[in-house]
Amino acid sequence: MGFARFPKGLSREKLESVPEKPGVYMFYSSKGDIPLYIGKGKNLKERISQHFSGKINSKKELKLNDLTDNLEFIETSGEFSALMLESKLIKEKKPLLNKRLRDHKIHYTAKLIESKDGLLVPTLFNFESLEDLVDSIGIFKSKKDFDKLLTRLSKDYNLCQVALGIEKSQGSCFNYQLEKCNGVCTMEESIKVYNQRLKSAFRKHEIKPWNFEGKVLLEENNVYHLVDKWCYLTKIESESDLEDALNTSYEYNFDYDQYLIMKKFLNGNYNYKVVSGTNSFDL
């Protein structure tokens, strides 16, 4: 396979057994039961080989190269299944070298609440159910994360820190004095224009509404995936599976990382059908 570097404890025979199919892989060290790293690929053999070729450019790559002495893999029907399974396994197994997807608990959602003078104010609420996602401009693990986003958006979009609630003042905000606020705090910018800019600033963070009247059956090669209200419900492989699924009461658990995956694939990357209890499809 032409590796420029290779983990000493990992046999080449093990790597040769990896298929050139989509799926999820896990690197292990004999020193512990927790995976070192979990990843996914459209082509498992090709993706795994990339970890052990070329120069080592980070401490993470060095640890992976030094400690890996075993690997496991799970084939999937396609890229969507691989992405969803990777997200699920990282949260369950908490691999040592996966940082981005490990901490996933959502505690808060934010919405734009109109004040007495018509100004829209980003306001934080406890996240308790799917209903809290309606009109949500973002979801957060902590109040600190929310405050950090407000500060960043105020700089990137010249938003008023007094209007955002970051700064307490009766007059102009500090950013206005630095010419980094368009002046809604001094009435130089209209509330209507400011509100429009505020909505634009949060656009990529807002939760897209579920615009389907029913559950969605997402097609992936030889299987289907049943999703509803941005929650993954189950995998469907036959007509009887679909019939059972449509008559089953599911517990809906919103996962932000899986939401991003579903949003991508429901936006034209895969075929899908909207289903209800009265639908019948040839699968």
* H helix runs in 57-190, sequence order: 59-67, 79-93, 143-156, 174-177
CA 271/CA 8 separation, integer angstroms: 44
Give me the pLDDT at residue 3, please.
42
Residue 1 has pLDDT above 60, yes or no: no
CATH topology of domain 12-93: GIY-YIG endonuclease (3.40.1440)
CA 220/CA 230 separation, integer angstroms: 17
Q: Is 33 exposed, middle or buried (0-12, 13-18, 19+ CB in 10 A)?
A: exposed
Q: Dihedral sign for Cα 142, 143, 144, 149, please.
A: positive
Length of the chain: 283
Q: Is 73 exposed, middle or buried (0-12, 13-18, 19+ CB in 10 A)?
A: buried
Model pLDDT for residues 30-57, shown as the tens digit of each residue? 877 889 999 999 999 999 988 887 777 7
Which of 86-95, 122-131, 216-225, 262-271 shows the lowest per-residue confidence on average (mean pLDDT)? 262-271
Give me the pLDDT at residue 41, please.
95
Give me the pLDDT at residue 33, please.
82
Stated as kind and residue range, the H or E segment containing 51 is helix 44-51
Model pLDDT for residues 182-213, shown as the tens digit of each residue? 999 999 999 999 999 999 999 999 999 998 98
In the chain, ranges of CATH 3.40.1440.10 domains? 12-93
Give me the pLDDT at residue 62, please.
84
Stated as kind and residue range, the H or E segment containing 232 is strand 231-236
Stated as kind and residue range, the H or E segment containing 113 is strand 108-114
Model pLDDT for residues 123-173, shown as the tens digit of each residue? 999 999 999 999 999 999 999 999 999 999 999 999 999 999 998 878 888
Give me the pLDDT at residue 2, please.
39
Stated as kind and residue range, the H or E segment containing 48 is helix 44-51
Sort residue 118 into left (φ over 0), alpha (ψ -120 to 50) or beta.
left
